[in-house]
Structure 1
Amino acid sequence: MANGLWLPKGYELPDGSKIRSLLYSGEEWQIFDTNGSNNILVTRPELVQKWNDCGFLDEALFTEVSSGTEFFRSLSSHKKYSLAPVENGKSPESKVDALAFAFAFRESRKLSEDASFHDAVYVEQYSRLLPALTLTPHVDDEVVFCTWITGGVIISTESFRRLTNLTGWMPAGDLAEIVKTAGFIVPADAGLLAKRKPASQVKTEEKTPIPKAAAKPELPQSSEQLAEAKVFRLPGRPQLEEFFNEYVIDIIFNAEKYQAMGVDFPSAIVLHGPPGCGKTFAVERLVEFIDWPSYSIDSSSVGSPYIHETSKKISEVFDKAIDGAPSVIVIDEMESFLSDRRSVSSSGLHHVEEVAEFLRRIPEAIKNKVLIVAMTNLIEMIDPAILRRGRFDYIIEVGMPSREEVASLVDSLLSKLPVADGLNVDKILDELTSKALSDSAFVIREAARLAAKTGKTELDQTSIDAALNSLPKDVEKKKRSIGFIHE
């Protein structure tokens, strides 16, 4: 690997132009500004060969350049076109820019089912995303696309409402068109979102027309695709996934048939279980999938040492959620607010007031289409009045993951990476069973990092073993006697 600039300032290129400055750089490529009409992409010959073999770009488009003993290949691109890494953090300046990128994304995906575009170079002139093809964890296409279009915010097309808020420079209808152009499914209710005028007049440059397919894509969404878009996925937690789909998602997306039978809205839910069992992860995925405004109630956001202040803050959160409905309220560590009032001394009357505030506001919020999900590690401490039907109808226990649940998550994670033959999956499951699902995700991610660090092109057993060994070891708890020792 060459250090610093691969081509020095003033280096004369085959077309007579000279290097002025480095614009962007990656492990296997660099992008330079020149004093001519073009910018250039300089890359390793091996990467160009991979792009040629995959059909991304013909190697004949690249010119050979050298500096000292180093040999590279260069690709020229007119400065009126974008030539930049996908992850450069700069959002598009117009709808035309966004459509061009969306078209390039879709066409590039057709050439490879496996390549991740999170570390790709966007070459607008050729409508291509050129992936680095390194052994790094795969990033979902929806996330890559939305991170680019928002200028660096990690979000998915599934969160369409939030995506419209982050791209306020264009109407929701234009955004839906762009998302479809990239090959992604747009929520069925996207057209109901208010059309907004751009916050400011954006200057657009005159560019060569992009292919007609990019301007008016014909990507019909089948009923199967629309149905799949309404299915919530939670790898590693099939039972919890099934519960959310039946008791929350289906009621939300098929409101009419449920309302005809008197079911207006999903009931409130409590998830309880030991620390690390995956409650928070599951709720975060659910909130992201539903894509409604979310409001949090926890000790850090509403807790106060002053009498009446906590209940006042709780009430304010409920008011905001009702005003922004349909929305979600997530109550974390609910035992902090909703513990049994009978165990509270007279000096804790303010706690009784907090419980009463929840008792009053929860039914009101549900009636106004606010989904309420609470979490606790100590279900036995919760006030019985809170757990009564009509407030929290569903009390769901979330235990530590079983072997089957760990296997489901590990399989999902490994499917996104190149894996060597002979990987001992049973050993992985033996080590991770009954541990937090976040440990499973960490092991696969860490193994990929270690493999990439040592120059490997596949995830092998050695990397997996090293990642497993980096997990904290279970410490055997020794029994201790407290008080008198009986001989």
Structure 2
Amino acid sequence: MSKDILLPNGFELPNESRVKSLLFSGIEWQIFDTNGSDIILIARPELAKRWIECGFLVDSLMGEVKFGDDFFRSLSCPRKFALNSVDCGGSPECKADALAFACALKESRKISKDVSFHDAVYVEQYTRLLPTWSLTSHVEDAVVLGTWLTGGVVISTDSFRRLTKLTGWMPEVDLAEIISAAGLSLPPNTTMRSKKSIICSPNESGRNTCSENENDSLQLSTEASNEERKFKLPGRPQLEDFFNEYVISIIFNADKYQVMGIDFPSAIVLHGPPGCGKTFAVERLVEFLDWPSFSIDSNSVGSPYIHQTSKKVSEVFEKAIDSAPSIVVIDEMESFLSERRSDNISGLHHVEEVAEFLRRIPEAVKSRVLVIAMTNMIEMIDPAILRRGRFDHVIEVGMPSRKEVASLVDALLSKLPKCDNLNLENIIDALSGKALSDVSFLIREAARLAAKAGKTQLDQESLEAALESLPKDQKRKNKTIGFA
């Protein structure tokens, strides 16, 4: 937010109305209420020029305002149209408001394929989101729309099940229609239909308007786009490829796999040292699929009482089966599934727990429950659990290699405005073999330092300063192990 108010209260505007109060503010722009019939956007000339040159606005729509030695460009909008900040402008009050924003997002994306609209200025009258090119991470359109629909909850429209709960005032079919109107792909298993489709077209004044086409039948289903859906895991290309081939493709293209007798993805074990990224990868997959997820760990099912642990394990699997398709995540699986070698009483109860998993895992997979387990100590796991038919895929996840660190650095920097002469070799060398969370932290910290210094691009100095903020004893502590 800008600390300096560009125009004082009572300032007389060219249309003879006066500034009443500040409504929204950014670094190079501000929106004011007036005592007239309009709300007005005031922008510094450089930002306004960029909007015009990029094609977001026509020069003739913008007026000129002079205050002292300062010169600004202005855009007036009647009160009946929304004019606000995307990141703090509130949520829609009705379906029409939501459709108008969705159309603005779609039309603005046609103008620029790479700009982020998460902190843009929303101009409903002209069906535009005006980007501000601030020094913050790029946000995907699905997250921009989901966050706006919920009034500030950061959520992607891919998380359709959760989004419907957060927008309870809107029927699911309307929500799916709005996502489609924004030009975004609909989530898996969405098969609702609408009799109307949304069309954005310019009227005689040049303003884009959203209308409903009564003659078209809009198929709100993802079946046609399933081939195009890909799971992304920056910094872990091999693990990303594994999930896409053995999980995502089978789920989203069920028909062609069922012909060959493949009904559902097999259970998976991820194992590797602490900090290698197992939990992060599973969390991203759960978020991507947007299925009900159930956790089995020491906190959720562990019990000192006889038979209670196996009973709780059974209850979790029952809930997952009832909610299928769903996901069961078994964390620290060595706590429940270590080898059955003890002859004491507690060992007998442990045998019972392992037997419960042996019975439940194949049953869950047949019932369309994706089972993923994680462990730091694969050597402790009972061999019967790791046989084919229970966990078909046992995947080792090592600490990130230099190539994987470089991949994540490139992915993170691609979302930020940055200088062209960045030298990343030393940065990547220092981060190789460290947890990928450290890589993400360094880039966020560098962006924070750059913004604090008033810079509009991420530079070498900010990256070096962020690297120095990492604990010295962690640098190059581990050699690269890679992914197997």
Which TM-score applies when normalising by structure 2? Answer: 0.85
Letter in 2 for 1:450: L
Counterpart Cα distance in 2 of 1:297 and 1:168:
30
The residue aligned with 2:104 is 104
The answer as to 2:292 corresponding to 1:293 is: yes
Consecutive unaligned residues in structure 2, runs of 5 or more: 195-204, 478-484
- Higher mean displacement: 395-404 or 257-266: 257-266
Q: Report whether the alignment pairs 1:450 with 2:446.
A: no
Letter in 1 for 2:380: M
Q: Is the 8 A contact 1:180 1:219 kept in 2?
A: no
Q: Is the 8 A contact 2:2 2:28 kept in 1?
A: no
Q: Which residue identity is paired with 2:173?
A: G
Structure 2 distance, partners of 1:52, 1:460, is 27
SS of alignment partner, residue 464 of structure 2: helix
Whether the 8 Å contact between 2:127 and 2:208 is mirrored in structure 1 is no
Q: Mapping of 1:351-362 within 5 angstroms?
A: 351-362=350-361
- AA in 2 matched with 1:55: G
Separation in structure 1 between the aligned mates of residue 355 and residue 157 of structure 2, nearest angstrom: 39
Task: Measure the CA separation in 2 of the matches of 1:291 and 1:278.
Answer: 20
Structure 2 partner of 1:40: 40
> SS state of the match for residue 190, structure 1?
coil
| Residue aligned with 2:22, SS | strand
Deviation at 1:185, TM superposition (A): 2.0
Give 1:264 shift: 2.0
| Structure-2 residue corresponding to 1:121 | 121
* Kept in 1: contact 2:188–2:289 (CA 8 A): no
Cα offset for 1:279? 0.7
Do 2:431 and 2:476's aligned partners in 1 also have CA atoms closer than 8 Å? Answer: no
Aligned mates of 1:224, 1:322 — CA distance in 2: 24
Shift of 1:52: 2.2
| Contact 1:19/1:33 (<8 A) preserved | yes
Which residue is 1:184 aligned to? 184
Q: Name the SS for the 2:392 alignment partner.
A: strand
Q: Which stretch shows the higher mean deviation, 50-59 or 157-166?
A: 157-166
Partner residue, 2:53: 53
Residue 372 (structure 1) aligns with: 371
* Cα pair distance change 1:296/1:209, threshold 3 Å: farther
State the secondary structure of the residue aligned to 2:430.
helix
CA contact (8 A) 1:62 1:75 kept: yes
Instruction: Give the aligned partner of residue 14 of structure 2.
Output: 14
Structure 1: 5+ residue stretches without partners: 196-207, 479-487
AA at the equivalent of 2:464: D
| Alpha-carbon shift at residue 477 of structure 1 (Å) | 12
Post-superposition offset of 1:137: 1.5
Contact 2:430 2:475 in 1 (8 A): no
Pair 468,225 (structure 1): closer, same or farther in 2 beyond 3 Å: farther
2:235 alignment partner in structure 1: 236
* Other-structure match for 2:437: 438
Query: Following TM superposition, by how much is the alpha carbon of 1:294 offset from its aligned partner in structure 2, in angstroms?
Result: 1.4
Residue type of the alignment partner of 1:451: A
Q: Which residue does the alignment assign to 2:198?
A: none
CA–CA distance in 2 between the matches of 1:297 and 1:9? 59
**Larger displacement relative to structure 2 (398-407 or 312-321):** 312-321
Partner of 1:153: 153
Q: How far apart are residue 118 of structure 1 and its match? A: 0.8
Structure 2 Cα separation of the partners of residues 355 and 239 of structure 1: 31
Deviation at 1:373, TM superposition (A): 0.4
- The match for 1:203 is none
How do residues 370-449 of structure 1 correspond to structure 2 at under 5 angstroms? Answer: 370-449=369-448
Aligned residues: 464
Percent of aligned positions that are identical = 68
What's the secondary structure of 2:473's corresponding residue?
coil
TM-superposed deviation, 1:343: 4.4
Aligned residue runs from structure 1 range 460-475, under 5 A:
460-474=459-473
Cα separation, partners in 2 of 1:351 and 1:34, compared to 1, 3 Å: farther
Rounded to whole Å, the distance in 2 between the matches of 1:254 and 1:214 is: 33
- Distance change (3 Å), C-alpha of 1:225 and 1:438: farther
Aligned partner of 1:142 in structure 2 is 142
Q: Give SS of 2:387's match.
A: coil
Q: Post-superposition shift, 1:457?
A: 3.1
Change (3 A) 1:228 1:90: farther
**1:175-230 superposed Cα distances (whole Å, 9 cap, x missing partner):** 3332222222224642259x9xxxxxxxxxxxx99846654599999x99825533
Whether the 8 Å contact between 1:120 and 1:132 is mirrored in structure 2 is: yes
1:188–1:306 CA distance, 2 compared to 1 (3 A) = closer
Q: In structure 2, the residue corresponding to 1:393 is in which secondary structure?
A: strand
For 1:472 and 1:66, the matched residues in 2 are separated by 50
Moved more, 325-334 or 302-311: 302-311
Structure 1 distance, partners of 2:28, 2:300, is 45
**1:2 and 1:84 mapped to 2: Cα distance?**
15
Pairwise mapping of residues 213-292 of structure 1 onto structure 2 (< 5 A)?
A: 215-216=212-213, 226=225, 229-292=228-291
Q: Is the 8 A contact 1:172 1:191 kept in 2?
A: no
- CA change 1:109–1:214 in 2 (3 A) is farther
Counterpart amino acid of 1:245? Answer: N
Match of 1:170 in 2: 170
* Closer/same/farther in 2, CA of residues 230 and 5 from structure 1, 3 Å limit: closer
Rounded to whole Å, the distance in 1 between the matches of 2:298 and 2:110 is 48
Q: Deviations over 1:215-273 (max 9, x none)?
A: 4599999x998255332222222221222122212221222333233322111111000
Letter in 2 for 1:27: I
Task: Give the CA deviation at 1:449.
Answer: 2.4
Structure 1 residue identity aligned to 2:243: F
What are the residue-to-residue correspondences of 1:201-212 with 2, within 5 Å? Answer: 211=208
Deviation at 1:127, TM superposition (A): 1.2
8 Å CA contact 1:272, 1:396 repeated in 2: yes
Name 2:202's counterpart in structure 1.
none
Q: TM-score, normalised by structure 1?
A: 0.85
Deviation at 1:459, TM superposition (A): 2.5
Tell me how far apart the structure 2 counterparts of residues 297 and 170 of structure 1 sit (CA, whole Å): 33
Task: Tell me which residue corresponds to 1:321.
Answer: 320
**CA contact under 8 A between 1:335 and 1:376: conserved in structure 2?**
yes
Deviates more, 1:292-301 or 1:372-381: 292-301
Whether the aligned pair in 1 keeps the contact of 2:100 and 2:210 (CA below 8 Å) is no
125-134 or 452-461, which deviates more: 452-461
State the partner residue of 1:485: none
* Preserved contact between residue 443 and residue 464 of structure 1 (Cα < 8 Å): yes
Do the aligned residues in 2 keep the contact of 1:106 with 1:181 (CA within 8 Å)?
yes
Q: Per-residue deviation at 1:420?
A: 2.1
* Offset from partner CA, 1:321-368 (integer Å, 9 cap, x none): 111101111111212222233248434655444333322322221121
Aligned CA distance change for structure 1 residues 52 and 225 (closer, same or farther; 3 Å):
farther
Asked if structure 2 preserves the Cα contact closer than 8 Å seen for 1:236 and 1:405, the reply is: yes
Residues 185 and 229 in structure 1, CA contact (< 8 A), matched pair in contact too:
no
Query: Which amino acid in 2 is paired with 1:380?
Result: E
Aligned to 2:482: none
